[in-house]
Amino acid sequence: MHSYDRSLRFYAIFALVIFLASCVKRQEAKGDPVGGKALFDYTCEACHYANSTVARAGPGLAGLYKWKTLPNGDAVTDANVERFIRDGSNLMPGYRNKISKEEMSNLIAYLRTL
């Protein structure tokens, strides 16, 4: 193989790698976990421990994003966590009209840190 062919092959592979890397969507962190913690402390802490799995009125939320499922059986994803918080459950009130979209993003950013 001639050096010209190797160079051409190298640049073709390099261009392909760069192209593929640019196509991969990076998940950007949304929300402010510090603001989310403040909201959690004000709104959620009465019923949920943040740094323990021990239950209060609701389950302790330590390691929430490492759980396989939420208490309702749904997978732990941002969308499902948001839906669970907005809709509530048997004992948990829904926060649909009480938490803004920005506050929810902050809260989820904080819950991801647990």
Architecture of the domain delimited by 33-111: Orthogonal Bundle (1.10)
Name residue 69's beta-bridge partners: 75
Higher pLDDT, 86 or 24: 86
Measured CA to CA, the distance from residue 114 to residue 98 in angstroms comes to: 23
CA 79 to chain centre: 8
Domain ranges of the chain: 33-111
Answering whether pTM is above 0.75, one says: no
Mean pLDDT of 39-67: 94
Contacts of 53 (CB under 8 A, 6+ apart): 59, 60, 61, 62, 63
In what helix (H) or strand (E) does residue 103 lie, and over which residues does it extend?
helix 101-111
Percent of the chain with pLDDT over 90: 69
Confidence of residue 110 (pLDDT cuts 50, 70, 90): very high
Mean pLDDT of 4-8: 60
